[in-house]
């Protein structure tokens, strides 16, 4: 009898463990601080998925890049070590060529055009490329337009970039972009930029207003020049390994919650951009607009020429983007 009881307890324990294994908590990567639009939208995604799956899928999001730098996190998510994350498409380019089309300077004409193209054929094509490399795109988040900032001088023409040491995200395209204006580009982790500007390792970097503000880069690089040279969307995406382990019903819920979180994020983004601009100006940033962006666009010709020569299979996609309103 005693033996039977022990056996029964053992079976019950095994069942509980199996259940616990089934209801595994997914781990998510995020680079930003907790009150950032991306972070809020990710948390809302996790909450919705947990509710709609009755707690079968729970998620823990690690903010502030505590799970590692962005290029590493992309790799780890592709391999299924991290289950999901919210990534900028810029640093994805090294592994997923299709994502590079959005990292071409001035490729999008405006934020509304970026939304339209990402929610249509261009986004689908990029998602296909990501899928083949281990990532399932769940939603396209907004990351506004990136502009240069530095501690030396305001930028009004490409010649003003010459000689400046500029931190860029990890992608050869961005190195080429800065070098096309005779600046010195240094790829570096996001989390190292503040200290590097402060100590003069670099003179500046480039980013959108919320990132310029939330990282306090505006305190050490006061000249913010609105070149708006890059509009790079971001992706809430899941490792195909985690995705394949879901039931079709769960996949539908995750995909739907991803899309909804992107809508939420885009709204929050618009508000945050304004707040961030106000905050950096109040904090002493010297913001200047660019009277004529044409010289910057013209300076990017070698970047395009090199990219098109190396990626002939992406010509159609680039033409589609360039020819759309």
Give the Cα-Cα-Cα angle 180, 185, 191 (nearest 5 degrees).
145
Beta carbon nearer to ligand GTR, 86 or 253:
86
Residue with tokens 């305190």: 219
By the rule CB under 6 A, 70 interacts with ligand GTR: yes
Q: Which residues in 156-185 contact ligand GTR (CB under 6 A)? A: 169
In angstroms, give the least distance from the CB of 247 to ligand GTR.
31
Q: Of 29, 106, 190, 218, which one interacts with ligand GTR (CB under 6 A)?
A: 190
Q: Of 53, 76, 77, 88, which one interacts with ligand GTR (CB under 6 A)?
A: 88
Element (H, E) at 101: none
Q: What whole-number distance in Å separates Cα of residue 216 and Cα of residue 194?
A: 7
| Residue 171, C-beta contacts closer than 8 angstroms, at least 6 positions apart | 90, 91, 93, 94, 100, 103, 187
Q: What whole-number distance in Å separates Cα of residue 138 and Cα of residue 263?
A: 12
Number of residues that bind ligand GTR (CB under 6 A): 11
- Evaluate whether 262 touches 139 at the Cβ level (below 8 Å): yes
- Evaluate whether 234 touches 89 at the Cβ level (below 8 Å): yes
Q: Of 99, 147, 211, 225, which one interacts with ligand GTR (CB under 6 A)?
A: 211
In angstroms, give the least distance from the CB of 265 to ligand GTR.
11
By the rule CB under 6 A, 214 interacts with ligand GTR: no
- Evaluate whether 108 touches 145 at the Cβ level (below 8 Å): no
Q: Which residues pair with 149 in a beta bridge?
A: 205, 224
In angstroms, give the least distance from the CB of 191 to ligand GTR.
9
In angstroms, give the least distance from the CB of 185 to ligand GTR.
13
Q: Of 39, 99, 103, 143, which one interacts with ligand GTR (CB under 6 A)?
A: 143
In angstroms, give the least distance from the CB of 145 to ligand GTR.
10
Q: CA–CA distance from 38 to each of 136, 211, 268 (Å)?
A: 18, 11, 9
By the rule CB under 6 A, 227 interacts with ligand GTR: no
- Evaluate whether 257 touches 48 at the Cβ level (below 8 Å): yes
Beta carbon nearer to ligand GTR, 57 or 138:
138
Tokens of 15: 């069942």
Q: What whole-number distance in Å separates Cα of residue 8 and Cα of residue 5?
A: 5
Q: Which residues in 252-291 contact ligand GTR (CB under 6 A)? A: none
Q: Of 208, 214, 239, 240, which one interacts with ligand GTR (CB under 6 A)?
A: 208
Residue with tokens 């399932």: 136
Beta carbon nearer to ligand GTR, 64 or 110:
64
Beta carbon nearer to ligand GTR, 228 or 234:
234
> Max Cα separation, the chain?
88
Which of these segments, 205-213, 243-251, 257-265, 281-289, binds ligand GTR (CB under 6 A)? 205-213
Residue with tokens 């980013």: 207
In angstroms, give the least distance from the CB of 88 to ligand GTR.
3
Which of these segments, 149-157, 177-185, 204-212, 304-312, binds ligand GTR (CB under 6 A)? 204-212
| Residue 207, C-beta contacts closer than 8 angstroms, at least 6 positions apart | 146, 147, 149, 215, 217
In angstroms, give the least distance from the CB of 226 to ligand GTR.
15
Beta carbon nearer to ligand GTR, 145 or 161:
145
Q: Of 26, 27, 31, 217, which one interacts with ligand GTR (CB under 6 A)?
A: 31
Q: What whole-number distance in Å separates Cα of residue 288 and Cα of residue 290?
A: 7
Residues that bind ligand GTR (CB under 6 A): 31, 70, 88, 90, 143, 169, 190, 207-208, 211, 234
């Amino acid at each position: 009898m005693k033996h039977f009881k022990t056996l029964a307890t053992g079976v019950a324990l095994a069942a509980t463990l199996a259940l616990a294994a089934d209801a595994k908590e997914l781990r998510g990567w995020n680079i930003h601080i907790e009150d950032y639009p991306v972070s809020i939208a990710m948390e809302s995604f996790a909450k919705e998925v947990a509710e709609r799956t009755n707690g079968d899928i729970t998620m823990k999001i690690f903010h502030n890049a505590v799970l590692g730098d962005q290029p590493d996190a992309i790799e780890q998510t592709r391999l299924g070590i991290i289950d999901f994350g919210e990534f900028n498409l810029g640093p994805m380019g090294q592994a997923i060529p299709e994502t590079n089309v959005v990292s071409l300077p001035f490729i999008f004409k405006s934020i509304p055009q970026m939304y339209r193209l990402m929610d249509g054929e261009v986004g689908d094509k990029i998602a296909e490329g990501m899928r083949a490399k281990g990532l399932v795109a769940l939603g396209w988040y907004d990351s506004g337009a990136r502009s240069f900032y530095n501690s030396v001088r305001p930028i009004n023409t490409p010649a003003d970039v010459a000689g400046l040491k500029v931190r860029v995200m990890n992608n050869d395209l961005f190195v080429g972009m800065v070098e096309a204006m005779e600046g010195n580009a240094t790829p570096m982790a996001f989390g190292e930029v503040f200290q590097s500007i402060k100590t003069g390792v670099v003179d500046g970097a480039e980013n959108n207003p919320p990132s310029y503000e939330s990282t306090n880069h505006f305190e050490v690089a006061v000249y913010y020049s609105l070149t708006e040279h890059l509009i790079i969307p971001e992706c809430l995406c899941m490792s195909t390994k985690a995705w394949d382990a879901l039931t079709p019903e769960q996949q539908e819920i995750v995909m739907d919650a991803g899309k909804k979180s992107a809508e939420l994020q885009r709204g929050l983004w618009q508000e945050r951009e304004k707040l961030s601009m106000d905050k950096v100006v109040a904090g002493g940033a010297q913001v200047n607009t660019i009277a004529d962006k044409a010289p910057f666009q013209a300076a990017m010709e070698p970047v395009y020429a090199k990219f098109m020569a190396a990626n002939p299979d992406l010509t159609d996609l680039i033409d589609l983007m360039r020819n759309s309103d």
